[in-house]
Amino acid sequence: MICNGTHGMSVGSLGQYPDRVDYVENILVRNAAMYNSSEGARIKVWPNAFSEKSVSLVGGGGSGAVRNVTYEDMWLDNVDYGLTITQCYGQDDEEELMWSICDMQSKLNITDVTFRNVRGRTNRVFSPIVAHLVCSSPDTCSNIVAQDIDIRTINGSNLVTCRNMDEDLLDVNCVDWSKGYNPA
């Protein structure tokens, strides 16, 4: 599959409505090429609180689960982020790491997600960061695996924002803004 100018191979958004339960299970994305996209592979979940991304895009507080999702053998070119997991959709990426709303434990669990053999290049939008893997709590994200990942900015950087997941399972160069990393 070849995609050009999209939001990426997305699971979600989920958890947007407090009165709904969202379940996504058993997804395999293989042999996909993403060009000129905002994301390569993405899982996006709203926080466990009201959030307002814009006047027409509000939500949060929903529950459910994402299980057994694999992104494999992907090529990326000129994407903003190569890989994304967020349980704080509705906040700007830099803000979500600082706001207490994003520390509220999600009611939507993400488990058994694998990114394998994902390669390519991001643009300058979030440079030097190439991917964003952020969960609200280690209790709501488990078995998140990144294997054989080679995503770089056009300048060669390969930093990944990682938060609240087992970094031993991530074959990426993790940094944590909440511990003092400043990309500026």
pLDDT digits (tens, 9 = 90+) for 62-82: 999 999 999 999 999 999 999
**182 band by pLDDT with thresholds 50, 70 and 90:** very low
**179 band by pLDDT with thresholds 50, 70 and 90:** low
3-state DSSP assignment of residue 23:
strand
Mean of per-residue pLDDT scores for the chain: 89
Residue percentage of the chain with pLDDT more than 90: 74
Does the pTM surpass 0.95? The reply is: no
CATH number belonging to the domain at 2-178, selected among 2.160.20.10, 3.40.50.2000, 1.10.10.10, 1.10.630.10? 2.160.20.10
pLDDT digits (tens, 9 = 90+) for 33-64: 999 999 999 999 988 887 776 666 788 899 99
Which is more confident, 169 or 57? 169
Residues in the chain, overall count: 184
Q: Are 62 and 104 in contact (CB under 8 A)?
A: no
Q: Which secondary-structure segment (H or E) carries 176?
A: none
Task: Give the C-alpha distances (Å, rounded to integers) separating 43 from 22, 133, 136.
Answer: 13, 9, 13
pLDDT digits (tens, 9 = 90+) for 118-148: 999 999 999 999 999 999 899 999 999 999 9
75 vs 181: CA distance, rounded Å:
28
Residue percentage of the chain with pLDDT more than 70: 86
Q: Locate the domains of the chain by residue range.
A: 2-178
56 vs 115: CA distance, rounded Å:
32
Q: Count Cβ atoms within 10 A of the Cβ of residue 163 and give its class: 0-12 exposed, 13-18 middle, 19 or more buried.
A: buried
Task: Give the C-alpha distances (Å, rounded to integers) separating 170 from 37, 83, 116, 144.
Answer: 23, 12, 10, 7
Which residue has 């190569």 as its token pair? 82
The pLDDT of residue 53 is 64
